[in-house]
């Protein structure tokens, strides 16, 4: 007796070819599906759907608008006289109600509005604060070279026409001093005046009714004190 091994028939060989061909076709289809599947480049929320299921789209067409989670872009129209002090990549402060936010200038659009003489500036903000698209924020931007000034509460400012002044209490008497306002930081105002000194007491309530030389009685309540800081002119 001699040993022998079964020889595959033509039918068996044909089935093997079909199996291999089917596997190759399956891999090709899986690759196509992977290429056609669109994945978001970052975590976020879909705020606008621009494509329906089964719809054909041209190459490069948008399928959805996605808002990045915890990252926002703030668009600010900056006056042309301030634009020279706005630098790409500079850190800036923003305020939305009681929230203080840190931002970075990521784009300065070189095309301005002829009517308003302003230029769009984009500021990137990363925060866990509950911001929403369309909210308004206040932005602090540099407007000149840094210099030392005095800070007082906004309520201390008295405006009459184009002049701004404050009342300082010296020897229980109100003295009116004209000041130059350089800018604002929250509820504080940066001012310049030759005859003011850090630590002096200023009037923040009822100052619009005061007259130079009026007698002032200081009550035992917290007072707002002038303090020097560095600011941008």
- Residues 8-22 have pLDDT tens digits of 556 677 788 888 888
CA of 168: how far to CAs of 30, 157, 195, in Å? 79, 11, 10
Question: For residue range 170-225, what is the model confidence (pLDDT) as tens digits?
Answer: 888 888 999 998 877 778 888 988 888 888 888 888 888 888 888 887 776 555 54
The kind and range of the H/E element at 88 are: none
**CB 107 within 8 Å of CB 86:** no
Work out whether strand 173-185 and strand 188-192 pair parallel, antiparallel, or are unpaired. antiparallel
Q: List the one residue out of 195, 190, 193 whose CA is nearest residue 227.
A: 190
Q: Is the pLDDT of residue 132 over 60?
A: yes
Convert the pLDDT of each residue in 86-113 to its tens digit. Answer: 889 988 888 887 778 889 999 999 888 8
The model carries a pTM of 0.46
Phi, psi of 212 (to 5 degrees): -55, 130
pLDDT (0 to 100) of residue 3:
53
Domains and CATH numbers, the chain: 68-140 (2.40.30.170), 146-232 (2.40.420.20)
CA dihedral (215, 219, 224, 228) positive or negative: positive
Task: Report the mean per-residue pLDDT for the chain.
Answer: 81
Residue 56's pLDDT band, with cuts at 50, 70 and 90, is: confident
Q: What is the Rg, in whole angstroms, of the alpha carbon atoms belonging to the chain?
A: 34
Res. 229: pLDDT tops 60 = no
Q: Which pLDDT belongs to residue 106?
A: 94
- H/E stretch holding 159 reads strand 158-160
Mean per-residue pLDDT, 139-164 = 85
Q: From CA 64, how far away is CA 117, in angstroms rounded? A: 34
């Amino acid at each position: 007796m001699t040993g022998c091994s079964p020889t595959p028939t033509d039918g068996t060989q044909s089935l093997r070819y079909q199996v291999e061909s089917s596997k190759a076709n399956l891999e090709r289809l899986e690759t196509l599906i992977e290429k056609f599947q669109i994945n978001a480049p970052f975590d976020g929320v879909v705020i606008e759907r621009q494509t329906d299921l089964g719809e054909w789209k041209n190459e490069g067409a948008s399928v959805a608008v996605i808002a990045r989670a915890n990252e926002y872009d703030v668009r600010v129209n900056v006056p042309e006289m301030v634009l020279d002090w706005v630098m790409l990549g500079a850190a800036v402060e923003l305020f939305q109600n009681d929230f203080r936010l840190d931002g970075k200038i990521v784009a300065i659009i070189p095309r301005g509005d002829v009517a308003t003489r302003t230029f769009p500036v984009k500021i990137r903000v990363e925060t866990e604060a509950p911001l929403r698209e369309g909210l308004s924020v206040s932005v602090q931007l540099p407007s000149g070279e840094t210099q030392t000034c005095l800070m007082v509460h906004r309520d201390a400012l008295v405006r009459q026409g184009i002049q701004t002044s404050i009342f300082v209490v010296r020897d229980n008497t109100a003295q009116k001093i004209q000041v130059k306002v350089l800018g604002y930081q929250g509820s504080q105002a940066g001012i310049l005046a030759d005859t003011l000194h850090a630590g002096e007491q200023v009037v923040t309530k009822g100052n619009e009714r005061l007259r130079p030389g009026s007698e002032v009685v200081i009550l035992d309540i917290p007072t707002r004190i002038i303090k020097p800081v560095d600011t941008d002119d």
